[in-house]
């Protein structure tokens, strides 16, 4: 997850400090998933209660440290285990686990965008984050088994490092024996200092697990703790309610969705990745993903991340305040008419920027003039930053002009529109704010998944903090560019999963979405 933390680092003063820091943490975690194929973001505080065979509340477990939360067991056969999540300002969802015998409690992000479990170690001496969070003490556990294998997870702006250990891990009412996890001995930077959570419990595939450690979810199945190879999320977007959400291992809770789920197959094991169709703004197709994009469902990301090209169009449509990109405006001023003429002459769009000299063409897409081959790492190191920016600006302008030509706009209006989009480009740190008073005028933004259109209304994609004149509104969209062949990639974080109940069907390798209830 994704995604929102980075966004606010650059202009934290614009927003509530508490919310800004929370968003920054989440984005760093999300971004890391793509930088190093491992990552996490959010935090969940949770307690459990049991239900009888009719799903009635049966018991309450008290926490000495914070207000008790509820968790349930569905049915009386142990077929499913439900963990109730805590929601912090719609930006962090976190829950409680325990490691060792007797149990040592930690709050973790249940993150479908990574696959390892890690918590701070008692052997972490020099990282501030370790001083501010509970630490695992192996000497106090009778079920601890020494492992010692070194481990490191690298994030976009930070990292954790430590070593593997084995111990019993308790999640809800389930006790997973001999679980391999990471004791973090180094947590540099501010990311984990300000985090609400202590660690991360990954729910991704083993293919992206550091050290190829079996994820907790795999061992739940292997040890027969869960019968059905399915887990599901319901995230409550009302941050004022005590019950922040629900994570069900072994099934779904029919009380938290409407109708039937739309399922799409996992296209690449690692993340919960699938194919996504076109993106619509106010019901109008953008054409950006009409030939297909990839997306992942990521519970560890707060916002909804996508390619800068399309996020900029969304920012323009919703009136989000970004940072003016002079490079973009320069490219449009010098080459906008040329791009438009080439498109009208039916030149292949992917070759236009190389044809006018701003990019080279590698057979599938434009690349910076400073890089002869996308696989030539030595040349890539010599890439010119200005050249990269001009190439990227040109490629975005091609997409933007294409979208307007489909709507039969005049050439003058098209070029003015593209210049306006340049002004809506997110800053390097991604932040964007919107006017709370204009929510009713903002368009619906829709994603096409499995042939079905999934709508997000303004009140669903805007994070609103406070009420009245002090209210602050933050766009739920953030730019994140992932190059082919893995990209263009969308990260459907909590903004999307809050609207749509999400099922992760491990047995059939598919992801399902239905309107949350």
**499 and 258 in contact (C-beta within 8 Å)?**
no
- Whether the pLDDT of residue 384 is over 50: the answer is no
Assess if residue 466 is contained within a domain.
yes
Are residues 308 and 333 both part of a single domain? Answer: no
Question: How far is residue 466's CA from residue 453's CA, in Å, rounded to a whole number?
Answer: 31
For residue 42, the model assigns a pLDDT of 25
Residue 84 confidence class, pLDDT cut points 50, 70, 90? low
Which residues are CB-neighbours of 101 under 8 A, at least 6 positions away? 141, 142, 143, 167, 168
Assess if residue 183 is contained within a domain.
yes
- Whether the pLDDT of residue 116 is over 90: the answer is yes
Q: Which of 39, 81, 111, 253 is catalytic?
A: 111
Are residues 210 and 354 both part of a single domain? Answer: no
Assess if residue 332 is contained within a domain.
yes
- Whether the pLDDT of residue 512 is over 90: the answer is yes
For residue 4, the model assigns a pLDDT of 32
Residue 12 confidence class, pLDDT cut points 50, 70, 90? very low
Q: Which of 198, 298, 494, 505 is catalytic?
A: 298
Other CB atoms within 10 A of residue 79 CB: 14
Are residues 295 and 335 both part of a single domain? Answer: no
Are residues 414 and 469 both part of a single domain? Answer: no
Are residues 363 and 416 both part of a single domain? Answer: yes
For residue 374, the model assigns a pLDDT of 24
**pLDDT digit string (tens) for 62-74?**
233 333 323 333 4
For residue 93, the model assigns a pLDDT of 75
Which of 168, 200, 235 terminates a domain? The answer is 235
Work out the mean pLDDT of the chain and round it to a whole number: 77
For range 496-508, the mean pLDDT: 96
Range with the poorest average pLDDT among 174-178, 282-286, 361-365, 376-380 = 376-380
Are residues 455 and 412 both part of a single domain? Answer: no
For residue 92, the model assigns a pLDDT of 65
Assess if residue 212 is contained within a domain.
yes
Assess if residue 192 is contained within a domain.
yes
Question: How far is residue 322's CA from residue 403's CA, in Å, rounded to a whole number?
Answer: 21
The number of CA neighbours under 13 Å toward the Cβ of 208 is 26
Other CB atoms within 10 A of residue 58 CB: 12
Are residues 231 and 267 both part of a single domain? Answer: no
For range 176-186, the mean pLDDT: 97
Are residues 136 and 54 both part of a single domain? Answer: yes
Backbone angles phi, psi at 504, to 5 degrees: -105, 100
The pair of structure tokens assigned to 70 is: 């509820």
Are residues 207 and 298 both part of a single domain? Answer: no
Cβ burial of 410 (10 Å; 0-12, 13-18, 19+) is exposed
Question: How far is residue 232's CA from residue 222's CA, in Å, rounded to a whole number?
Answer: 19
* E runs forming strands in 412-479: 433-434, 445-449, 452-456, 462-465, 472-475, 477-479
Domain count, the chain: 3
**pLDDT digit string (tens) for 244-302?**
788 999 999 999 999 999 999 999 999 999 999 999 999 999 988 888 899 999 998 88
Assess if residue 263 is contained within a domain.
yes
The number of CA neighbours under 13 Å toward the Cβ of 13 is 0
| Greater pLDDT, 227 or 218 | 218
| Greater pLDDT, 139 or 237 | 139
| Greater pLDDT, 40 or 403 | 403
- Distances in Å between the Cα of 358 and the Cα atoms of 267, 284, 371, 393 are 33, 30, 12, 9
For residue 80, the model assigns a pLDDT of 61
- Whether the pLDDT of residue 54 is over 90: the answer is no
Q: Which domain holds residue 489?
A: 254-322+429-516
Are residues 120 and 225 both part of a single domain? Answer: yes
Q: Is 220 helix (H, G, I), strand (E, B) or coil?
A: helix
- Whether the pLDDT of residue 316 is over 50: the answer is yes
Identify any residues that bridge with 333 across adjacent strands, giving them in sequence order: none
Single out the residue of 299, 173, 172 nearest to residue 234, CA to CA.
299
Backbone angles phi, psi at 176, to 5 degrees: -90, 120
Q: Does residue 388 have an active-site annotation?
A: no
Assess if residue 248 is contained within a domain.
no
For residue 87, the model assigns a pLDDT of 60
**pLDDT digit string (tens) for 331-357?**
888 888 999 989 998 888 888 888 888
Q: Does residue 455 have an active-site annotation?
A: no
Are residues 259 and 182 both part of a single domain? Answer: no
**185 and 131 in contact (C-beta within 8 Å)?**
no
Q: Spell 154-172 as b/e; 16+ CB within 10 A means b.
A: bbbbbbbbbbbbbbbbbbb
For range 298-322, the mean pLDDT: 85
CATH no. for residue 510? 2.40.70.10
For residue 144, the model assigns a pLDDT of 98
pTM value > 0.75: no
For residue 88, the model assigns a pLDDT of 56
For residue 35, the model assigns a pLDDT of 38
- Whether the pLDDT of residue 99 is over 70: the answer is yes
Assess if residue 7 is contained within a domain.
no
Are residues 128 and 204 both part of a single domain? Answer: yes
The pair of structure tokens assigned to 392 is: 């990227």
Residue 436 confidence class, pLDDT cut points 50, 70, 90? confident
- Whether the pLDDT of residue 9 is over 80: the answer is no
């Amino acid at each position: 997850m994704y995604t929102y933390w980075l966004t606010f680092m650059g202009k934290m003063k614009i927003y509530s400090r508490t919310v800004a820091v929370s968003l920054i943490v989440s984005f760093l975690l999300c971004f890391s998933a793509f930088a190093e194929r491992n990552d996490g973001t959010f935090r969940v505080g949770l307690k459990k209660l049991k239900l009888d065979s009719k799903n009635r509340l049966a018991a309450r477990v008290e926490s000495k440290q914070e207000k008790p939360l509820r968790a349930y067991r569905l049915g009386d056969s142990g077929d499913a285990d439900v963990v109730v999540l805590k929601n912090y300002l719609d930006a962090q969802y976190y829950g409680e686990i325990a490691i060792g015998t007797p149990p040592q409690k930690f709050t973790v992000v249940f993150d479908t965008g990574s696959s390892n479990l890690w918590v701070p170690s008692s052997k972490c001496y020099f990282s501030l984050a370790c001083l501010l969070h509970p630490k695992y003490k192996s000497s106090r556990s009778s079920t601890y088994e020494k492992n010692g294998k070194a481990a490191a997870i690298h994030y976009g702006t930070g990292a954790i490092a430590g070593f593997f250990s084995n111990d019993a891990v308790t999640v809800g009412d389930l006790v997973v024996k001999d679980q391999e996890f990471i004791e973090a001995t180094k947590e540099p930077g501010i990311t984990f200092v300000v985090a609400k959570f202590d660690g991360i419990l990954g729910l991704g595939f083993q293919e992206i697990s550091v050290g190829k450690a079996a994820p907790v979810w795999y061992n739940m199945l292997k040890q027969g703790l869960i019968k059905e190879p399915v887990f599901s999320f319901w995230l409550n977007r009302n941050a004022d309610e005590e019950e922040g959400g629900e994570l069900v291992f072994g099934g779904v809770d029919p009380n938290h969705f409407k109708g039937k789920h739309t399922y799409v197959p996992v296209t690449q094991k690692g993340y919960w990745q699938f194919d996504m169709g076109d993106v619509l703004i106010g019901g109008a197709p953008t054409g950006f993903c009409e030939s297909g994009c990839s997306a992942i469902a990521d519970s560890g990301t707060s916002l909804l991340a996508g390619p800068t090209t399309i996020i900029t169009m969304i920012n323009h449509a919703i009136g989000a305040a970004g940072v003016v990109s002079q490079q973009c405006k320069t490219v449009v001023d010098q080459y906008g008419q040329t791009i438009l003429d080439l498109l009208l002459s039916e030149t292949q769009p992917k070759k236009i920027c190389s044809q006018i000299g701003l990019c080279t063409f590698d057979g599938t897409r434009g690349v910076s003039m400073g890089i002869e081959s996308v696989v030539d790492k030595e040349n890539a190191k010599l890439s010119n930053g200005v050249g990269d920016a001009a190439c990227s600006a040109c490629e975005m302008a091609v997409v933007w002009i294409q979208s307007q030509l489909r709507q039969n706009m005049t050439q003058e209006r098209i070029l003015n529109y593209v210049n306006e989009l340049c002004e809506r480009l997110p800053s390097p740190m991604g932040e964007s704010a919107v006017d709370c008073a204009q929510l009713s005028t903002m368009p619906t933004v829709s994603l096409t998944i499995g042939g079905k259109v999934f709508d997000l209304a303004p009140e669903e994609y805007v994070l609103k903090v406070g009420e009245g004149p002090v209210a602050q509104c933050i766009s739920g969209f953030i730019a994140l560019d992932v190059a082919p062949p893995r990209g263009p990639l969308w990260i459907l974080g909590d903004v999307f999963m809050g609207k749509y109940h999400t099922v992760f069907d491990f047995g059939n390798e598919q992801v399902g979405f239905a309107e949350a209830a």
